[in-house]
Chain A
């Protein structure tokens, strides 16, 4: 384990460069470049706010930041899980030529996702600055902690999905369906008050996505630190996912090269 971590560190120039390059090429061919990362959730937010805000009768200035924070966190989770699926598959050329630890490729995907999140949340800060800047400072203070938690969540997720997807090529489709289901039972844009039945509220309570969302929402929307329960859920999930990822890589790291 110690040696393995040392090997990851030894290749740091390579994976950090891969991450930077991916961010760069993602936007090279569009005129707006990195701005797309901010505009994309902004437009989605406006659509959802207008449609559902009217449907449920929620005032825009309350609903918009709620939806926005939901979307950018959800994008991160989705990007790590579904985007992670391809991280090993797309690195075939490297994996077949060099003996680098395989987890550096999911690591690259996660770093790109964290960077995307950090760019997208700037648009949220901007929105709050214009509408209601009272909670902004708390949001900025807690951002490093939030980003670090997301990183620790995203990496094992991407390791798991990429290694499974390499073995079963239809895994991404199945996972897409699972994520769709998760989206409907998570308060990404539904507000807890909208859930009527007791079972659904309980489901929301035990859903770790709720607590990941709270990492961003508690400071920005309520002006408070995320609760101990939120951190408990998040770190619990990090521990479980990390153990799963370590167990999985222990088992398959050596044979994955044959699955290309």
Chain B
């Protein structure tokens, strides 16, 4: 049995400016011919700078920092969605990323079809999904609505369905962007329980959150990012405290 790990070595990630500098073929051609006004160029944004991290099996890592510090970018780089400019990220273990749950729904399709859709997207086989289907429908409390096109769903129903599908397929490395809550009070309690089950089963958790109390509750280790660099790395309590002090939210609790 191999151990799961995430090794991040000298990771540098730039958001290239080229997508914003030449948007149309017409502009590109005019630029090549040096016609037209030279438009003001925007510059590459350095989202991660020389990040080095070793995350071992059993660790629950919280990533904290202010908006735009590179937290979500780091998570997406670990998931392999955003490629690095230099450095490398090596992972061992089945990655399960939960970023934006309601993204990628097919609104013309029924709830039942969307379960299949999302399940396949998550890498499951059709047979596996059919086995889990009933369980998902029950958890989402959709009843007969499951055979209606999901464009008829209320926002709450949609979130419940998204949550039920996404949390049914588990993984060894769990990447979370904010702790997920969904629906009304009763459903939230159920969702929290499901979430905690997932967290206890996963071998590695990386959680991005602005909520220091959930970081302290869930994580064993925290990483404080600022301007794409790691400025603190240590036990969750200590780093969370440091973060609160530095943003002026005071110590206390």
Residues on A facing B (Cβ under 8 Å): 10-11, 13-14, 17, 21, 25, 28-29, 93-99, 167-171, 174, 254-255, 257-259
Looking at A28, A29, A99, A171, which has the most chain B CB atoms within 10 Å of its CB? A99
Closest A residue to B19 by CB, please name it.
Answer: A259
Instruction: Across the interface, name the chain B residue whose C-beta is closest to A28.
Output: B108
B81 touches A170 (CB 8 A): no
Q: A17-B120, A93-B103 are in contact. Are A257 and B23 (CB under 8 A)?
A: no
Q: Which of B76, B103, B121 contacts A14 (CB 8 A)?
A: B121
Which one of A10, A21, A97, A99 lies within 8 Å of B113 (CB-CB)? A21
A47 to chain B, nearest CB (A): 31
Smallest CB–CB gap between A9 and chain B, Å? Answer: 13
Identify the 5 closest CB pairs spanning chains A and B, nearest first. Answer: A99-B80, A93-B104, A168-B25, A170-B24, A254-B83
Are A97 and B120 closer than 8 Å at their CB atoms? no
Using a Cβ cutoff of 8 Å, how many contacts connect chains A and B? Answer: 73
Whole-angstrom CA separation of A95 from B97 in the bound complex: 13
**A168-B81 CB under 8 A given contacts A258-B15, A258-B16:** no
Contacts of A258 in B (CB 8 A): 15-16, 19, 82
Given the complex, which residues of A lie within 8 Å of B22, measured CB to CB? 167-168
Residues on the B chain within 8 Å of A257, using CB: 81-83
* A169 close to B23 (CB less than 8 A): yes
B residues 97-111 touching A (CB-CB < 8 Å) = 97, 99-100, 103-104, 106, 108-109
Chain A proximity mask over B189-217: 1 for CB below 8 Å, otherwise 0: 00000000000000000000000000000
Measured in the bound complex, the distance between the Cα atoms of B128 and A13 in whole Å is 12
Given contact pairs A13-B126, A25-B106, enumerate 10 new A-B contacts (beta carbons under 8 Å).
A17-B126, A21-B113, A25-B109, A28-B108, A97-B99, A98-B121, A99-B79, A169-B23, A169-B24, A258-B82
Partner pick for B25 among A13, A94, A97, A171, CB 8 A cutoff: A171
The answer to whether B123 and A168 touch across the interface, beta carbons within 8 angstroms, is no
Mark each residue of chain B from 1 to 26: 1 if its CB lies under 8 Å from any CB of chain A, else 0.
00000000000000110110011111
For residue A98, which residues in chain B have a CB less than 8 angstroms away from its CB? 79, 81, 97, 121-122
